[in-house]
Structure 1
Amino acid sequence: MQMKHEVVLPHDGGGFTLIETLVVVALLAVIAVMSAPSLVAWHVRDQVDARASALLSTLSYARSEAVRRGARVTVCR
């Protein structure tokens, strides 16, 4: 009976090295840090728009109630 010896050669180009992966992670972190202020500003603008819309709907409702009742209507906080 004869035994076969197989030579295992290293596999080239099949994946990413640790350094390449760390560079990509670092770039993603830099992009996330740079985009965070604009996301915060967008969130604040969205909150202001929502509150302005709520105020407008409250004033419209108060106006319609004043017309329906034929009396002065006061909007309180």
Structure 2
Amino acid sequence: MQLDVVDKGLDAQRCKAALSRRHPPRRSSGFTLVELLIVMAILTILWVIASPNYDPIIVGNKVKQQKYEIATSLAMARTEAVKRGALVRVCQGTSGSCGTSDSGSESWADGWRVQDMDGDTVIHLEQGAAPNTTLSYSCGDYVEFNTTGGRVSSSDGECVFTAGKKGGADYDTKLSIGRQGRVQLDYTE
């Protein structure tokens, strides 16, 4: 092709100019590394600002889990009392004597156990509350069920377990135990 151009009397400069008009220099269609890093930094900042805070959801679920675990233990104790024909207690603490000052624990949040009072047999053991949650009971250190499944207590009214978050009442949820031993969960949350 260059020979044809030379034969027609065109010089080399004019040849280069003609070729450059036909094939303009290629321009890069990608991004530079700096541009890419800047865009990534902006997207990261936007993601951090726009993403929701999941802490309230996690704490709320831990409190609900705590409530369901104590409800399960209470239902188990009531069933075992009827099945065994003996007094069964749900006691705070994971060791020590049930219903005495030597319960092995200072609060329900440290754990609890289901115990047959005739043979002092531990039927079930629960290791305690999830971190940053609390559990309290309005009627003492233990819940006792008789052979008919009723709650034995010095209190004539209902006794209430309250599960919540340490340092705040925002997540408090209640579980009540009537004289008949029936456990009722508070579903108003």
Correspondent of 1:18 among 24, 31, 34: 34
- Structure 1: how far apart are the matches of 2:26 and 2:91? 77
Which residue of 1 is the match for residue 71 of structure 2? 56
Using the aligned pairs only, state the percent identity: 26
Residue 11 to residue 51, structure 1, CA distance change in 2 (3 Å): farther
Unaligned runs of 5+ in 1: 1-8
Q: Which has the larger radius of gyration?
A: 2
* TM-score using structure 2 length: 0.30
**Where does 1:23-42 land on structure 2 (aligned, <5 Å)?**
23-35=39-51, 37=53, 39-42=54-57
How many residue pairs get aligned? The number is 68
Unaligned runs of 5+ in 2: 1-24, 93-189
Q: Which has the higher helix share?
A: 1
Aligned residue for 2:51, secondary structure, equals: helix
Amino acid across the alignment from 2:84 = R
* TM-score using structure 1 length: 0.61
Q: Which has the higher strand share?
A: 2
- Aligned-pair Cα RMSD in Å: 2.5
- Which deviations, in whole Å up to 9, do the C-alpha atoms of 1:6-47 show, x marking residues without a partner? xxx67522235523432332332332244252x111211221
- Structure 2: how far apart are the matches of 1:10 and 1:17? 19
